[in-house]
Structure 1
Amino acid sequence: MIGRTTDAGSYRYRVSVDPLDVTQFDSLFNFRDVGGPTGHDGRIVRSGRLFRSDTPHRLAGADRTAFAAFGVRTVLDLRRPYEVDRDGRIPDFAGLTWRHIHPEHADWAENPYQPGADLARYLADRYADLAATGTAGLAAAIGLIADETNAPLLVHCVAGKDRTGIVCGLTLAVLGVSDADIAADYALSTAGGERFRAWFATTGKTLHPSLPPLRCPEEAMLLFLTELRDRYGTVEGYLRHAGVTDAQVAALRDHLLA
């Protein structure tokens, strides 16, 4: 795949030129290829194998055609059941399988963000809560990604920044990608949040008041990964605690590292 090198803060990564750039979607605001950064032994995370996005249920017309060009075989939907019922699933595509895995976690409305509070600290605490209560779901999600027959795979939630950010962050960490590069990829969702907010404003609806700003400060992901290691020793240690097997870790590296 043809690519170019792009700067995002201190992070230099490979993004695909062909077939599309994220900004070419009108109804998908936080789509990108996870491939590009360097992992174990200097091996590059392969492009065209794992994608992440906000919910793709709005895909239609030109956006549907554009999405089909990526050849996604499996869609991993991390949303809550009521979110799926409310918005619907990704439209049907030939050869595409939809898998719904919801990592159990408390509704953020139970612990709403307080304006002016440290956003990175608030997000890192919510991510830690999800890692504590959603072990079975996170292990199932990582296991699905580890199975090469499911690739190319798209993982998404609602905004594509929190639950999706955790699953992608854990995956990249197991692949040996540095925390700095993982956090830089996570921070790219800030721009996606801005695009989503601009579109949402045209619908006449209002965002739930308990939700934090749609920003992804790098520090939030750095805190989450650091504190996960403080408790479990390594990210792999956490995933093994959650139920991910050695064979799945090996398979993840085999097919996602070039």
Structure 2
Amino acid sequence: MTNDGFILSSAPNFRDLGGHRTAQGGTVRHGLLYRSDALHTISEPDLPVYNGLGIRQLVDLRTAHERESLPDITPEGAAYTAVSVQGPTAAGGNFSEALLDRERARAMFADGAADRFMFDVYRELVTDPVALTGYRDLVERAAEGPTALVFHCSAGKDRTGWGAALLLTLLGVDRAAVVADYLASNARQENTDKWMRLLAEHSGLEWDELIPMTRVRAEYLESSFAHIDEVYGSFDGYVSDALAVSPATVAALRARMVA
């Protein structure tokens, strides 16, 4: 851990999902499951720490365009896997390209539209077929190993945020702790702010118009859970019917991740 409280200063939203208590009285084990922002940013001074975490799987949740533009630095000894959770037509898919087109950017994000855009993203993350396939893959990889595993997107807050919420909920962590873990991303967006400000300059939009896209809000995450109840009846229905994650996989995940 660095003096600034980050495991990796060059990837400020890289963090361990361990330490949470579960409803069954267990504790999520440390050092097995990490979430992160972009991993192309790892600096030379951070490499020894990054390589020393024992990571065996890196799961990249970004779109093909993001992966090709900014390829990951994979830890020594880890297998890299691309697992898309957004199709090219999804609400959040490649939104950065829209910000390069001033007319399109204004239509999509100006005058409060960025706020509506974010709620659309969070609803699609629990219903879009690409998302369902991708998050099932993430859960199965976490359950089957090898561990440790890190999963990430660009900012580590939305696609990764839902992935973390899903995994922690499956492990039996209560909603308040899941939301608290999700909101911790807000203090870790230094890298995101840099590239979002550059995009904002090209878009012609004011920074305040884009702020809803640069931070997480409890309402965003709660909208995913609410949409699950609306569409699938319950979180358990979402897991069994939409994600098609088996009870055996959930049991294996808990056996591996909870002490």
> Which band: TM-score by shorter chain?
0.7 to 0.9
- CA shift, 1:219, in A, is 2.2
> Partners in 2 of 1:228 and 1:253 — Cα distance?
22
> 88, 97, 118: which is aligned to 1:123?
118
Quote the residue 1:5 is aligned against. Answer: none
Conserved 8 A contact 2:60-2:82: yes
Conserved 8 A contact 1:228-1:235: yes
Work out whether 1:36 is the aligned partner of 2:19.
Answer: yes
> 94, 100, 115: which is aligned to 2:76?
94
Conserved 8 A contact 1:75-1:154: yes
> Partners in 2 of 1:177 and 1:62 — Cα distance?
34
Mind listing any 5+ residue stretches in structure 2 that lack a counterpart?
99-106
Pick closer, same or farther for the CA change 1:25–1:60 going to 2, 3 Å: same
More helix, by proportion = 2
More strand, by proportion = 1
Conserved 8 A contact 1:174-1:236: no
| One-letter amino acid matched to 2:55 | V
Percentage identity across paired residues of the two chains: 31
> Partners in 1 of 2:120 and 2:137 — Cα distance?
22
- CA shift, 1:24, in A, is 5.5
> Partners in 2 of 1:22 and 1:238 — Cα distance?
35
Number of residue equivalences: 235
Quote the residue 2:127 is aligned against. Answer: 132
Work out whether 1:71 is the aligned partner of 2:54.
Answer: yes
Mind listing any 5+ residue stretches in structure 1 that lack a counterpart?
1-17
Quote the residue 1:253 is aligned against. Answer: 254
- CA shift, 1:234, in A, is 2.8
TM-score for the superposition, normalised by structure 1: 0.81
> Partners in 1 of 2:150 and 2:126 — Cα distance?
21
Quote the residue 1:184 is aligned against. Answer: 180
Work out whether 1:142 is the aligned partner of 2:139.
Answer: yes
> Partners in 2 of 1:171 and 1:21 — Cα distance?
27
Work out whether 1:236 is the aligned partner of 2:242.
Answer: no
> Partners in 2 of 1:175 and 1:20 — Cα distance?
30
- CA shift, 1:47, in A, is 1.2
- CA shift, 1:21, in A, is 6.6
Pick closer, same or farther for the CA change 1:21–1:237 going to 2, 3 Å: farther
- CA shift, 1:19, in A, is 8.2
> SS state of the match for residue 6, structure 2?
helix
Quote the residue 1:59 is aligned against. Answer: 42
Conserved 8 A contact 2:91-2:124: no
- CA shift, 1:229, in A, is 2.5
Q: Deviations over 1:131-188 (max 9, x none)?
A: 21121111111111111x3211101011111110111111111111111111111111
Quote the residue 1:216 is aligned against. Answer: 216
Conserved 8 A contact 1:19-1:70: no
